[in-house]
Structure 1
């Protein structure tokens, strides 16, 4: 298996894809000719801070346009104008830090997100309530956003990301700042999202990839160094990366596979 090409035959058409995309911030290259496909299920973007993960999510969300290459979403190239605005209505985004008016109630905030994503007025409140039920926050619908704990805020963040029943969900470091019990519950939510949508999750936590993801792409210094199944990543320190070599998938074996790639890069292998 090539470390630069996915060995996982999913049998599903990609919901999103990037081809040879590059992104620069002044003299800094954030992404360098990155090509990836994102089929239904949960795909993890694993890498350290500064690897280009958040930049890639910003391209998939249409918040930014690449300096070079193409971004394809739901079968359409994302360029400018009405087409992009239409695509945005089918995308849900949870930034690592999302803004909110603290005096909004949980229901008001989620309903506001539905309005932003052009959910029809007649069904907007019920869409908000359904999203809150999915994340077990419906009983807190009348609480003020400013009163919520960190874990509760992240749940509301998931609710606002899914209120429009998106085909593509983008999650940027969704479990950062959560305690271990909250992280376990949040992983269950993300797995559930992957049964309905294509989910792309940026993280630097090997445990999240092990417990949540179907596939993983490792980003280092703005380039893709591996794409494949989580089992194939775990197999790298133990064999040639084939499924037959794969050890049991857990946080430690995902981390070992990642460090194998990072270590090889460090010595120029």
Structure 2
């Protein structure tokens, strides 16, 4: 995968997004470096909207988004940076009669991987997700875990600097989740991986940094250890539950108290 250097791979600066009267993101600022970053928050917090900004599918009404120091704006600029991004949606479409190899080759073509490099890139992506021996199996015959791996292969076939994962372990059994976490950690060695999730357990095992979004605003940014350190209520008593989950609940409680809502 492409080395990205010591600086941030992606920067969101003061991004605001509105859907009619709903403010989905409100002045959000965040940096994403090589490694794995979690977007943690409840439904409607703005996680998917933030991913859509990072994927260039949407542009903010206010603020800016940049990738590798290049602002994402205008048709030509958007097209240029899009070639450095890989995306795995929570639900992704595929033609069931495609083989795994054909599916990843099609993704390589869409992302403008040069024709002379496609075969090698597809082999590289399948090797990364340990699907080489299943390359000729039809997509419609894959298990849920193997489908997710094929989804990762299509997301990284262009050697992206930024990989966006939306709820990547939802629907996987415990053994599949363990294997998938190892794959995500490996991706974070070479790219900036941004993972939207509801699962605090995934954050604890995979992520270097955590952003907590609540009601469209960034309420916490720090390491997983920093979030665990928030695992106390306003009286200083430890919250029950796993440390990352307890830290997240502490942030939610602090926000509720700030809004005058009993926690």
Aligned residues: 250
TM-score, structure 2 normalization: 0.92
- Report how far residue 268 of structure 1 moved: 2.1
- In 1, Cα distance between the equivalents of 2:48 and 2:212? 13
| Stretches of structure 1 lacking an aligned partner (at least 5 in a row) | 1-10, 241-246
Which residue of 258, 264, 268 corresponds with 2:254? 264
- Report how far residue 233 of structure 1 moved: 0.5
- Report the equivalent of 1:30: 24
Contact 2:232 / 2:250 at 8 angstroms: preserved in 1? no
- Report the equivalent of 1:78: 72
Contact 2:41 / 2:212 at 8 angstroms: preserved in 1? yes
Which residue of 208, 213, 218 corresponds with 1:219? 213
Residue aligned with 2:8, SS: coil
- Report the equivalent of 1:67: 61
TM-score, structure 1 normalization: 0.90
- Report how far residue 239 of structure 1 moved: 9.6
What RMSD over aligned residues (CA atoms) do the two structures have, in Å?
1.6
Q: Deviations over 1:99-143 (max 9, x none)?
A: 111111100000000011111101102211110111011111111
- Report how far residue 223 of structure 1 moved: 0.5
Q: Deviations over 1:159-205 (max 9, x none)?
A: 00010111111111100110000000000000000000011111010
Contact 2:231 / 2:248 at 8 angstroms: preserved in 1? no
- In 1, Cα distance between the equivalents of 2:69 and 2:117? 27
- In 2, Cα distance between the equivalents of 1:29 and 1:84? 24
- In 2, Cα distance between the equivalents of 1:259 and 1:92? 31
- Report the equivalent of 1:254: 244
- Report the equivalent of 1:106: 100
